[in-house]
Structure 1
Amino acid sequence: MREPRSAGFWPLAIVFALFVLFMYGPMFVIFVLSFQGPEGGLTFPLRGFSLHWFRQLAEGLGTVDIGAAFRRSLAVGVVVMGLTVLLSVLAGLAFRKKLRGGNALFYVTVASLIMPSIIVSLGIGLQFRLLDGGIKWLLEAVGATETLENYGTALGLFTSALGAHLTWTLPFGLLIMFAVFNRFNPAYEEAARDLGATPWQTFRHVVFPLIAPSVIGVGMFGFTLSWDEIARTSQAIGDVNTLPLELQGLTSTVTTPAIYALGTVTTVVSFLVMAVAVGLAMALGRRSRQRGRVPS
């Protein structure tokens, strides 16, 4: 027989249900309202059911090129994901040994998490404007007049904006990898070296398969955090906009469910990335268990 529920179960269950509703209710409402008919509005009740607003979104929303903004966000998200994984894994490996100044380097790296995002963005934007001034002065000094006339700015998607996104994604990646390597058993590496494996072979065949699920998680964090980033991008993007910035701008000009359709598309992309990450982690876990079975 099952034990009876404690007196505090139902109050806690109600609080938890309200918390889940508060977290995911707005997303569900936007998802539902994006499927309204051509006469649909921004509030309930629904007026018809169709894909009309998704088709309008594909055709474009006035002067805003949603397709180009989507491609820019996707491209920078992939690059940020790759760099976050690479730098986090390398830093995790490096910090396994005692480093001179390692503590200071660690605190400097994670300090951006406690800085207001808009201040970080303003600082990066100012740095690159100063860099623009230095480059223009240098071009003028060497007499490169034609290059100077064609020079715009160093601010851009894969320069300042990329750096701004990394100040947000790298601390999370580093903290994850530090936690992983903190409980990593070095006996596996010692056994591989005893069997004659080189450092690269040890990492490829021993270390990486064991940390692969965590690496996938770091990649997922890197992409999703970059995909949704607004504040750190706003002052450091230059002359173009990412999809979240376009979405923010459209909230004051678009008064149709097309804005909800755009929100639904961006949310679906985030869920797809998470699903791929979970699927890869599960596949790696299954493969590891199969390798660990000893035939009878």
Structure 2
Amino acid sequence: MATTREKRPTSFYFLATFFALFVLFLYGPMLTIFILSFQGESGGLTFPMNGFSFYWFGNLFEQQAVGDFGGSFARSLKLGLIVMAVTVLVSFMAGLAFRKRFKGDSVIFYLAIASLIVPSILISLGIGLLFNIVSWQPQWFTSALGAHLTWTFPFGLLIMFAVFNRFDPSYEEAARDLGASSWQTIWHIVLPMVAPSLIGVAMFSFTLSYDEFARTLMTAGALNTLPLEIYGMTTNVTTPVLYALGTVTTGFSFVVIAIALGSVLILRYRKGQKS
């Protein structure tokens, strides 16, 4: 017997159109930059395109009259990796510590997440002024590192809180009954079980640090990170090489996300094989 397909209501098409326009609003500017980065050699910064080529991607790796692509990218990459490592380690330790109530835990928690409420530019300004008061020159690996941690650590902490709230302590009790020490229990039981979440924290912290502008503005010192370099170049660079840079950096961010998701899938596959 043939089944008749249920007719969708008019509201479905209205909501679907609204969602499509919303996605276009979000990713339209990114798509525009991506397309314009493939301008021909004589192309400009706007439509219509004058040919199609990879010329500006090759020009990206040549000596530029304005801008330090390689140096700023290296600094952003190193800073993002340091922020990622510190955030993962401290978030994991804080998640373990907050599993049991202790005196002053609420105060510490609210202090840890308070930086999410304060405007980013004020945090950057405050850290920069503090370094000037103590006669320390702000640098991307000191003051900027601290500023980025005020942005990434609260997210890592909240993620680990959610993970440990669902964590079954009976696994740890079973390990201790079998003679495992506290360190062995953490290393062989707790850590493998929360590893996918730690990968998520790592991805969050790296991408947030790699793309951060406001909290880096007053704390990076004389050497720019990549977001600061791109911002400074917007008033000087008049070729699509800037769009090529945006396309490359966006692609790099997607690669990081793909690696993180791939790692989670591998961990789940191995866990399924063992079980």
Answer yes or no: same fold by TM over 0.5: yes
Identify the residue that residue 70 of structure 1 maps to in structure 2: 73
Where does 1:128-167 land on structure 2 (aligned, <5 Å)? 128-132=131-135, 153-167=136-150
Distance 2:259 2:6 in 1: 39
Q: Distance in 2 between matches of 1:25 and 1:79?
A: 32
Residues in 2 aligned to 1:285 and 1:60: alpha-carbon distance in whole angstroms: 45
Equivalent of 2:122 in 98, 119, 123 = 119
Query: Aligned pair in 2 of structure 1 residues 228, 249: CA closer, same or farther (>3 Å)?
Result: same
Partner of 1:192: 175
User: How far off is 1:97 after superposition?
Assistant: 1.0
Whether the 8 Å CA contact 2:33–2:247 is kept in 1: the answer is yes
Q: 2: distance between equivalents of 1:86 and 1:233? A: 22
Give the Cα separation in 2 of the matches to 1:203 and 1:114: 33
Deviation readout 1:39-78 (Å, 9 max, x if unpaired): 1111122211111111221113314221011101100010
Match of 2:193 among 210, 234, 239: 210
Q: 2:158 corresponds to which residue?
A: 175
- Of residues 31, 50, 55, the one that matches 1:52 is 55
User: Unpaired segments of 5 or more residues in structure 1?
Assistant: 133-152
Separation (CA, whole Å) in 2 of partners of 1:121 and 1:239: 15
Q: CA deviation at 1:6?
A: 3.1
Specify the code of the residue in structure 2 equivalent to 1:179.
A
* Residue 15 of structure 2 is aligned to residue 12 of structure 1: yes
The alignment's TM-score, normalised by the length of structure 1, stands at: 0.90
Which among 263, 278, 287 is matched to residue 261 of structure 2? 278
Cα distance in 1 for partners of 2:11, 2:217 equals 46
CA distance in 1, matches of 2:176, 2:28: 53
Instruction: Name the CA distance, whole Å, in 2 between partners of 1:256 and 1:233.
Output: 26
- 1: CA distance, partners of 2:261 / 2:7: 35
- Are 2:110 and 1:110 equivalent residues in the alignment? no
Aligned length: 272
Tell me: CA distance 1:63–1:254, structure 2 relative to 1, closer, same or farther (3 Å).
closer
Give the superposition deviation at 1:4: 2.8
Q: How large is the RMSD of aligned CA atoms in angstroms?
A: 1.1
Contact 1:70 1:243 (C-alpha < 8 Å) held by counterparts: yes
Say whether residues 1:245 and 2:248 are aligned partners.
no
Q: Which amino acid aligns with 1:14?
A: T
Identical positions, percent: 60
Question: Equivalent residue for 1:235?
Answer: 218
TM-score for both structures, normalised by structure 2: 0.96
Comparing 115-124 with 60-69, greater Cα deviation is found at 60-69
Encode CA deviations 1:73-120: one digit per residue, 9 max, x unaligned.
Answer: 100010001001001000000000112111111111111111111000
Contact 1:60 1:66 in 2 (8 A): no
Partners of 1:121 and 1:233 within 8 A in 2: yes
2:69 pairs with 1:86: no
1: CA distance, partners of 2:49 / 2:149: 41
* CA distance in 2 between partners of 1:201 and 1:216 (Å): 21
Q: Which residue identity is paired with 2:213? A: I
> Partner amino acid for 1:13?
A
User: 1:261: which partner in 2?
Assistant: 244
Unaligned runs of 5+ in 2: none
